[in-house]
Amino acid sequence: MGNFGDAEREIAALMKVGEEFEFQGKHYSIICSGKPTCYKGEPKTDVYVLAKSVSDQIEIKLSYKKENADFIENKMSAERAEQLLGSDWSNIIENSTISISDRFEERMLIYKNKFKRTEKGAITLGWKFELLNKKSGDLSGKLLLTEEQVIDVYAGSNLSGEKRNAMVNGKVIENSGIANYILMNENVNSAQDVIDNMMPIKEYVKKYPDIYFACKALNYRTFKGKWDGDRPLSVQVLWNAKENRLVPKLIYDKPLIIKGNEVAGRLLQYMKLLLKLQKSFFLIPYQSPPFFV
């Protein structure tokens, strides 16, 4: 299969109306199938299937994951965190970042020289928040969740109403957006292959019980006078000026509430103050942004 979208469409095509399969000792025929959708964002279910046997009907709500995919969520906002992690989302993220606070505290925040992928002259505004199925980088660790909370993340149980009760083929179907099975095998060529290779989400979580978080830096690039957008920050750097230099303080207790533009605005305010006093380590070339000496 190709990219994620292509793979998803191919799986949906295998599970079209009229296809038949054996499941838990019964013979089923698919009577409804489609991709659940909503007006904003996406449900957790990628392919919805309603099938009937001579004695009952079953709903198969597949969440498809490519086998080499690392990300569970890579654009985390406060709204999305609440949907995935539930009402206690803020404490979960705060406790998780505090658990590796020593790594944040020893982190370089002002880069006079290029360091790995970080540009010369970069100043850290804070760190974005991502969910993954494995550790990634130094500022990464295991998210502090119960088994039920992990199940909720994969199933989408905490999603908003329209994402839980999504539309399938233009019709709202209750709970169609909450996944109950996960499929990670791309080598499927029939409806029966899909059924044979899918796994109940609860079983998947028992086999893979851990969800990891990773914090990725949002930096102000002084040479370009730019940063990568107004991204929500799990840990923010509160910049101040003291004794003619920039002084940082790390903030852990407002995850994803304070965003990049606010932190950058504060940093620029103090940079301009220090430059005005002509007592900082910055120089300003004529009509150019500040750079490090």
Model pLDDT for residues 76-135, shown as the tens digit of each residue = 999 989 988 988 999 999 999 999 999 999 999 999 999 988 999 999 999 999 999 889
- 200-207 contact pairs (CB < 8 A, 24+): 201/63, 201/151, 201/154, 201/155, 202/151, 204/154, 205/147, 205/150, 205/151, 205/154, 206/147
| Residue 118 DSSP symbol | B
The 3-state DSSP class for residue 42 equals: coil
What does each C-alpha distance from 165 to 178, 261, 270 come to in angstroms?
8, 35, 48
CA distance 253 to 179: 32
- Mean pLDDT across 279-283: 45
With 50 as the cut, is the pLDDT of residue 252 above it? yes
> Which range, of 64-68, 88-92, 243-247, averages the lowest pLDDT?
64-68
Contact between residue 113 and residue 120 where contact means Cβ atoms under 8 Å apart? yes
Which of 196, 234, 206, 264 minimizes the C-alpha distance to 81?
A: 234
pLDDT at position 168 is 96
Mean pLDDT of the chain: 90
With 50 as the cut, is the pLDDT of residue 291 above it? no
Tokens 């949002």: give the residue: 218
Say how many residues make up the chain: 293
pLDDT at position 278 is 54
CA distance 121 to 110: 7
